[in-house]
Structure 1
Amino acid sequence: MKSRAGTPPVLYSYASMQQRSGGGMRWRECVAVLGAAAMVVFVVAHSLLPGARVGDLGDVVSPVLRLRRARREEAAMPSSEKTVGEIGDEADGFPWSNAMLQWQRTGYHFQPDKNYMNGMESITSDDGIFRCKSSCVLSPRLALCLEEETDWQWLAAFFAVFLFVCLAEKETDHLLLTCSGDMHACMHADPNAPMYYRGWYHFFYQYNPEGVTWGNISWGHAVSRDMVHWHHLPLAMVPDRWYDINGVLTGSATILPDGNVVLLYTGNTDTLAQVQCVAEPADPHDPLLRTWIKHPANPVLFPPPGTYKKDFRDPMTAWFDKSDNTWRTMIGSKDNNGHAGIALMYKTKDFVKFELIPRPVHRVEGTGMWECVDFYPVRGNSNSSQEELYVLKASMDDERHDYYALGKYDAVTNTWTPLDPEADVGIGLRYNWGKLFASTTFYDPAKRRRVMWAYVGETDSNRTDLAKGWANLQAIPRTVALDEKTRTNLLQWPVEEIETLRHNATDLSGITISTGSVFPLHLRQAAQLDIEASFRLNTSDIAAHNEADIGYNCSTSGGATNRGALGPFGLLLTNGHSEQMAMYFYMSRSLDGDLRTHFCHDESQSSLARNVVKRVVGSTVPVLNGEALSARILVDHSIVESFVMGGRLTATSRVYPTEAIYEAAGLYVFNNATGSTLIVDKLVVHEMHSTPMQLDLFARD
């Protein structure tokens, strides 16, 4: 997407719209309403001209109504669902504008639009927010549904507005006029049941069709031929039974040998107990699997004895065990004795009757509840003759990060043993540094690869999310494989299909950056990029610096502004003065003289807004002899994903700039090291096309 010609017009400032105290509505205000209604008629008349449509005014709902609703939702929202601390009205003290908030929406990541799947045919209200397929709101309690594009209906609507607002309302806020193709904000979260079925990639996800915070959890559903261009389908499942009335929670898909599909999912019951349930497609011959039926035997599993009712969730994809001809699945849980995270294994022959295998597959003291457990074999490349290893992964409910470990699995004893006990699940390797959670993988038979999905939450305030009308997005799907060079870690890499979005490549390879320097890259735009970079420091400069630097840590060492002999150096997203997001390497020497390489994301100066989380995240990454320092960085408006050293380390950040947006945003190479020049062996920057979600409910083969 090319940069826009100038900043989009600001329809109104979010900060300027403060609530008015209640009181009787005077006739002079009715005159104002009459004038506003006349403007509506004028705008509508224009919209009825050839080529125009009702939604042309935009789709930003009144922030006053949304911010009010956010205050109510905050009171009912579980504290673990948001990491931003807020104190009263000061949490939204920054004057966000439409231009700033609209810029945050991504161009090529999976991100549902606002409540398109649950559009209302007539006027309804929810906490003071009125909505219909297309509407104009003139007060918190009055809306017009603009379904038919006929002049007489608009005139009737005009007089209805006047009469109802002027004569019926006892108190009012100041006049609001917003137009929207959909007035309902939405939230989505955990990825569920990804699979490849009859030529289509299917992706389900936790989705709240009624708000931007956690609640009313249903399963959204989308399909794609390439995991890049998506078609939305109707909701797959909604909370409508006693056993899932408080949420259709995370689950998985298992494709049976006969081609049928079984969904296993956690139901949040009327008593908030977590139980396991089964659903099947109404028509398994439909490649889009548009309709799902919950099994009459539900729930098929209850929390086992000794397990707290809220600590039993997220069944993973089942696999077939030939030793006893049963299907096996894992479910995450917690043992309060030692605050241990545990993985429970069940076996079944029909997905209705399950048997708990007596001892947990694995447990780690002090790690707390394990969510979204995943378990799969990795062998690296197909020609490897070395022993197959197994990945055990869990999402830590206590700290909201995803951990994994490599180990060996004994199916006879039902035990998994980590290769390195010091790097066990929850205390060792992480899938990602920064913001990423609830990951899950599936095997793609079409390309013989394992693919990972994970959701990336917001790090701004709840009220800002409500003003935007959406919350959360999915990370780019990643392939997962064993690193055959080290055999101690995984490699994650964006699926190859993402590269089809590249265009307008700029090659700046071969430049040299002196110490304390910044080099601007003259690009058409810096909002949607795929960056391939490879750096190295001058060899003689490295040799000249033998002093140990053992204290460096991405999170605590001052970020990109803290200068050392051999770092930091890398890339900056910035407007050149007030805001910057740094993705950088830092090299240090350990006590034994070996070099240690760190890769970090410095979000600390990424936004002038105070009500967002801004951290420095990252860790050390293995670099073998002869390897250049390489990174691939995906930039998509408010998300930055880095894949370092071929995917040995990944980092993900959410950023909310207020000035470094649109044509003001730029990309720079920087070298803040004090003791070495920087050689940029490779720097190729690709602009990325957008992939708008297709609202095509009838996509066919």
Structure 2
Amino acid sequence: MINWIPLEPAIYPTKPFDINGTWSGSATILPGNKPVILYTGIDGAGRQVQNVAFPKDLSDPYLREWTKPDYNPIIFPCGVNASAFRDPTTAWLGPDGLWRVTVGSKRGKRGMAYLYRSKDFVRWTKAKHPLHSSKDTGMWECPDFFPVAPKGRLGLDTSARGNGLKHVLKVSLDLTRFEYYTVGKYDYAKDRYAPDNTSPDNSTGLRFDYGNFYASKTFFDPAKHRRILWGWSNESDRAQNENIKGWSGIQTIPRVLWLDSNQRQVVQWPIDELESLRTKQASIDDKLVKSANYFEVKGIETSQADVEVTFDVSSLEKAENFDPAWTDPQKLCGLKDAEVKGGVGPFGLLVLASAKLEERTAVFFRVFKAQNKHVVLMCQDPKRSSLVPRVYEPTFAGFVDIDIATTKKISLRSLIDNSVVESFGAGGKTCITSRVYPTLAIGPNAHLFVFNNGLEDIKVSELKAWEIRKPLMNGE
């Protein structure tokens, strides 16, 4: 999942049931190790319908050609908004031997995950009740529904069931263009999902990624027993530049996903295979970063790099007071960005930076003192990432569920790849992806700095940074 060979499109408009578009879908492995793709087609009447496609030749290791049976569509928008009915999930097998799949939709302003059942993957029946819904969330795109083990990092097959298992339901919100998810329980008998109510079941809820990350999808990797998450990060550059580049949007680095030990959220980490691209390394240990200071990490090129750093936060005495009204981390990061001096923080990395810091993207933490605890904010601030104004350069942020007063440490990993910065705070509890387009900090002219803009001194207990070689991708 690191080196890729470009192939021809597998599914594209060819039939009356998808002649106006072949949209998002999911793969399911049927008995006998036979893959099938469920996808949304836009038919001649402009309706969103659900279709199936099968590999033309199972002996082809790349499954390059797919056939679409003439009995498509297999699911019609009966009793459903035909203009808001899309993105079927991977199907799962229930204890009664019936397949189930959920399709995203809306009813008025209520987001819906409609449920369908089938014995043969051909004839599908709509369930009386949706799998789940939530008011005032609008259209649910790209839903994802899967089980997670209560302990450990091993992933589960989508059809796995048993006592103690949790489920995750993720939806992509068409209204806001970001995603949120909940952790909860799936009632197999009633075919209903119920969140645990440990986080909001609405647009203010938990996110896999608090940045430029949408339409994500997980799948189960049976070879290494892991659930892998893959997201889409669209361009925020000007349209004419997209035309020059020849693409619009990228896939992020695949991530392993598992349930946190607190069972309130998921944790993510880049797949181990990424480390095969690491080459030249720079290391720094036990280096103090005094208030209003910074230093450069030298010895490697950092336009394409993998950086892991652990910060010691031994004193929290100067932490700023936390206002309970600060419920939106993105707005808080906009209010207190990397330029705003704080008590404990902002401290972190300046990536894709020019030598004189005219351009830089800040990835940082800031610690606040609330009434009975400390609040840790993680931010990515690309407002100074380019000397040329871009279409979309917002600060992105999320709170980090960590007891900093006990740990006295916090870790950060940032994957830097020319126009992409993917960051993982506290071992993957909070993740943020940004798209940036520097004009000076390109190739060998990109620099990496550690900075501290807070009153409290911070120590880098350990930092390791690697150059990342170019993988096989998008080649001839």
TM-score, normalization: structure 2? 0.93
CA distance in 2, matches of 1:644, 1:334: 34
SS of equivalent to 1:367: coil
CA deviation vs aligned residue, 1:169-196 (integer Å, no higher than 9, x gap)? xxxxxxxxxxxxxxxxxxxxxxxxxxxx
Q: State whether residues 369 and 375 of structure 2, in contact with CA within 8 Å, keep that contact through their aligned partners in structure 1.
A: yes
Where does residue 52 of structure 2 map in the other structure?
278
CA distance in 1, matches of 2:203, 2:344: 31
Q: State whether residues 432 and 651 of structure 1, in contact with CA within 8 Å, keep that contact through their aligned partners in structure 2.
A: yes
SS of equivalent to 2:46: coil
SS of equivalent to 1:465: helix
Where does residue 451 of structure 2 map in the other structure?
670
After superposing the two structures, state which structure 1 stretch, 395-404 or 419-428, moved more.
419-428
Offset of 1:609 from its aligned partner?
Answer: 1.3
Higher strand share: 2
Offset of 1:278 from its aligned partner?
Answer: 0.8
Offset of 1:488 from its aligned partner?
Answer: 0.6
Where does residue 100 of structure 2 map in the other structure?
328
SS of equivalent to 1:265: strand
Where does residue 631 of structure 1 map in the other structure?
412
CA deviation vs aligned residue, 1:25-72 (integer Å, no higher than 9, x gap)? xxxxxxxxxxxxxxxxxxxxxxxxxxxxxxxxxxxxxxxxxxxxxxxx
Offset of 1:287 from its aligned partner?
Answer: 2.4
In 2 relative to 1, CA 523–386 (structure 1 residues): closer, same or farther, beyond 3 Å? farther
Offset of 1:549 from its aligned partner?
Answer: 5.4
Where does residue 159 of structure 2 map in the other structure?
none
CA distance in 2, matches of 1:600, 1:545: 17
CA distance in 2, matches of 1:435, 1:548: 26
In 2 relative to 1, CA 439–515 (structure 1 residues): closer, same or farther, beyond 3 Å? same
Where does residue 175 of structure 2 map in the other structure?
398
Q: State whether residues 394 and 425 of structure 1, in contact with CA within 8 Å, keep that contact through their aligned partners in structure 2.
A: no
- The structure 2 residue matched to 1:451, chosen from 206, 209, 228, is 228
Where does residue 200 of structure 2 map in the other structure?
423
- Please tell me whether residue 597 in structure 1 is matched to residue 373 in structure 2: no
Where does residue 433 of structure 1 map in the other structure?
210
After superposing the two structures, state which structure 1 stretch, 229-238 or 639-648, moved more.
229-238
Where does residue 557 of structure 1 map in the other structure?
335
Matches within 5 A, 1:113-132: none
Matches within 5 A, 1:534-549: 534-539=310-315, 542-543=316-317, 547-548=321-322
- The structure 1 residue matched to 2:152, chosen from 371, 377, 381, is 381
SS of equivalent to 2:407: coil
Offset of 1:279 from its aligned partner?
Answer: 0.7
SS of equivalent to 1:493: strand
- Please tell me whether residue 414 in structure 1 is matched to residue 185 in structure 2: no
> Residue type of the partner of 1:417?
A
SS of equivalent to 2:9: strand
- Please tell me whether residue 650 in structure 1 is matched to residue 431 in structure 2: yes
- The structure 1 residue matched to 2:271, chosen from 477, 495, 498, is 495
CA distance in 1, matches of 2:285, 2:395: 27
CA deviation vs aligned residue, 1:553-610 (integer Å, no higher than 9, x gap)? 44431410011111100010211231110000000111x1421101000011111112
CA distance in 2, matches of 1:476, 1:627: 29
Where does residue 87 of structure 2 map in the other structure?
314
> Residue type of the partner of 1:458?
E
Matches within 5 A, 1:302-381: 302-305=76-79, 307-322=80-95, 324-336=96-108, 339-379=109-149, 380-381=151-152
After superposing the two structures, state which structure 1 stretch, 355-364 or 546-555, moved more.
546-555
CA deviation vs aligned residue, 1:658-686 (integer Å, no higher than 9, x gap)? 11222322101100002x11100111001
SS of equivalent to 2:338: helix
Offset of 1:545 from its aligned partner?
Answer: 5.1
CA distance in 1, matches of 2:361, 2:451: 12
CA distance in 2, matches of 1:545, 1:521: 27
Offset of 1:613 from its aligned partner?
Answer: 1.2
Where does residue 139 of structure 1 map in the other structure?
none
Where does residue 522 of structure 1 map in the other structure?
298
Q: State whether residues 319 and 367 of structure 2, in contact with CA within 8 Å, keep that contact through their aligned partners in structure 1.
A: no
SS of equivalent to 2:8: strand
CA distance in 1, matches of 2:461, 2:145: 38
Where does residue 288 of structure 2 map in the other structure?
512
CA distance in 2, matches of 1:405, 1:314: 19
Q: State whether residues 550 and 589 of structure 1, in contact with CA within 8 Å, keep that contact through their aligned partners in structure 2.
A: no
Where does residue 422 of structure 2 map in the other structure?
641
In 2 relative to 1, CA 501–238 (structure 1 residues): closer, same or farther, beyond 3 Å? same
Offset of 1:470 from its aligned partner?
Answer: 2.2
Where does residue 577 of structure 1 map in the other structure?
357
CA distance in 1, matches of 2:319, 2:381: 25
Q: State whether residues 506 and 686 of structure 1, in contact with CA within 8 Å, keep that contact through their aligned partners in structure 2.
A: yes
Higher helix share: 1
In 2 relative to 1, CA 602–360 (structure 1 residues): closer, same or farther, beyond 3 Å? same
SS of equivalent to 2:344: coil
SS of equivalent to 1:376: strand
Matches within 5 A, 1:86-485: 227-305=1-79, 307-322=80-95, 324-336=96-108, 339-379=109-149, 380-381=151-152, 387-420=164-197, 422-484=199-261
Q: State whether residues 400 and 426 of structure 2, in contact with CA within 8 Å, keep that contact through their aligned partners in structure 1.
A: yes
Q: State whether residues 393 and 425 of structure 1, in contact with CA within 8 Å, keep that contact through their aligned partners in structure 2.
A: no
Offset of 1:694 from its aligned partner?
Answer: 6.2
In 2 relative to 1, CA 387–695 (structure 1 residues): closer, same or farther, beyond 3 Å? same
- The structure 2 residue matched to 1:659, chosen from 437, 440, 445, is 440
SS of equivalent to 2:317: helix
CA distance in 1, matches of 2:205, 2:320: 29
Where does residue 473 of structure 2 map in the other structure?
693
In 2 relative to 1, CA 257–578 (structure 1 residues): closer, same or farther, beyond 3 Å? same
Q: State whether residues 168 and 182 of structure 2, in contact with CA within 8 Å, keep that contact through their aligned partners in structure 1.
A: yes
Offset of 1:383 from its aligned partner?
Answer: 9.3
> Residue type of the partner of 1:530?
D
Where does residue 71 of structure 1 map in the other structure?
none
Q: State whether residues 555 and 615 of structure 1, in contact with CA within 8 Å, keep that contact through their aligned partners in structure 2.
A: no
In 2 relative to 1, CA 447–667 (structure 1 residues): closer, same or farther, beyond 3 Å? same
CA deviation vs aligned residue, 1:270-305 (integer Å, no higher than 9, x gap)? 222100101111122322212211011011111121
> Residue type of the partner of 1:334?
K
Where does residue 393 of structure 2 map in the other structure?
614
Structure 2: stretches of 5+ with no match in the other structure? 156-161
SS of equivalent to 1:646: coil
Identity of aligned residues (%): 37
Q: State whether residues 529 and 688 of structure 1, in contact with CA within 8 Å, keep that contact through their aligned partners in structure 2.
A: yes
Higher Cα radius of gyration: 1
CA deviation vs aligned residue, 1:83-104 (integer Å, no higher than 9, x gap)? xxxxxxxxxxxxxxxxxxxxxx
In 2 relative to 1, CA 538–250 (structure 1 residues): closer, same or farther, beyond 3 Å? same
Structure 1: stretches of 5+ with no match in the other structure? 1-226, 697-701
CA distance in 2, matches of 1:260, 1:689: 35
Where does residue 566 of structure 1 map in the other structure?
344
CA distance in 2, matches of 1:637, 1:369: 33
CA distance in 2, matches of 1:505, 1:532: 11
> Residue type of the partner of 2:418?
H
SS of equivalent to 2:114: strand
> Residue type of the partner of 1:677?
D
Offset of 1:518 from its aligned partner?
Answer: 1.1
In 2 relative to 1, CA 510–584 (structure 1 residues): closer, same or farther, beyond 3 Å? same
Offset of 1:546 from its aligned partner?
Answer: 7.5
Offset of 1:344 from its aligned partner?
Answer: 0.8
